[in-house]
Amino acid sequence: MRVTGLRKTYGARAAVDGLDLVIEPGEVFALLGPNGAGKTTTVEVLEGFRERDAGEVSVLGEDPQTAGLAWRNRIGIVLQSSTGLDLITPREALRSTAKVYRDPRDVEEVIAAVGLTEKADDRVGKLSGGQRRRLDVGLGIIGRPELLFLDEPTTGFDPQARRDFWELIRGLKQGGTTILLTTHYLDEAEHLADRVGVIAAGRMLALDSPANLGGRASSQATVTWEDESGTRHTERTSSPTQLVTRLARDRGGEVPGLTVTRPSLEDTYLSLIAPHLAGGEPDHATARELEDAK
């Protein structure tokens, strides 16, 4: 997937402003950013659901704006929510969706993979929010996609369900599926993504592996420890190993209350987007809302 100079405006507002992006085959890529940053517009352009104003876009070797059904058969999409399914069961929804694909996954396999075995024959309208989200994921992967778009996929999942979902995504990656993920869960991005991109005001602010984003790996560490009286001390340093060695030598062994931390992915993310939120609250309107208001 290759994006060069992507631009999309709504009236006087640029939702995406000259975005460049390359996602490699088989990669899990997480796109992060505050509400109103341009994530939704970018993803909708890549999915072929929204026309761009400028720039070049190639997804699986084709322009999504003009690609046909054969191209769409190669992608899977997990939207933030689905509608119109309340009167049928998850099994029926998956079976009917599978029929539109050339090489779908086995319906029962998908039901088990998303944790809906016990609810497969209940009406969708009676499912909990988390269970409906699992069905959304199932509908996205039933076609055995080469490229999978996941828009906030684990919203409403309990902690165990999220971990189970992560295992599913790892399995898809091992099978060669390329995955573009948008999420507000920074731990999810850190566990799943090979690389993350942070956007704000429609522009890419940083792009790297989760461990190296924003110079995170080389940032100063914070070392905290307790002295003989129990008083806690904190020191920031670029050489934490040397400091810990000195503390251990001075105390003749273990250092009470010792912790060594570097900036978390969340710390780094917040520092990157902070300048773009300084003028007030972020714009919470999505691309769809802006388009509908025109």
Question: Measured on CA atoms in the order 265, 168, 64, 25, is the torsion positive or negative?
Answer: positive
Q: Spell out the residues 6+ positions from residue 237 whose beta carbon is closer than 8 angstroms to its own.
A: 220, 221, 223, 243
Q: How far apart are CA 254 and CA 54, in angstroms?
A: 61
For residue 58, what pLDDT is reported? 97
For residue 87, what pLDDT is reported? 94
Bridge-based pairing state of the strands 259-261 and 221-226: antiparallel
Q: At what angle do helices 90-98 and 129-141 cross, to 10 degrees?
A: 20
Task: Find tokens 């704000």 and name the residue.
Answer: 200
- pTM flag (> 0.85): no
Which helix (H) or strand (E) segment holds residue 245: the answer is: helix 240-251
**Under a CB-based contact definition with an 8 Å cutoff, are residues 207 and 214 in contact?**
no
DSSP class of residue 104?
P
Q: How far apart are CA 20 and CA 136, in angstroms?
A: 29
For residue 285, what pLDDT is reported? 39
Side-chain half-sphere exposure of 19, counting CA atoms within 13 A: 35
For residue 278, what pLDDT is reported? 53
Closest CA to 101 of 79, 77, 127, 80: 77
For residue 292, what pLDDT is reported? 38
Find the angle CA(94)-CA(100)-CA(103) to the nearest 5 degrees. Answer: 85
Which helix (H) or strand (E) segment holds residue 76: the answer is: strand 75-78
Mean pLDDT for back-to-back runs of 10 residues, the chain (294 residues): 96 94 96 92 95 97 95 90 87 96 94 91 91 89 95 81 85 92 92 96 94 84 90 91 92 91 88 75 39 37
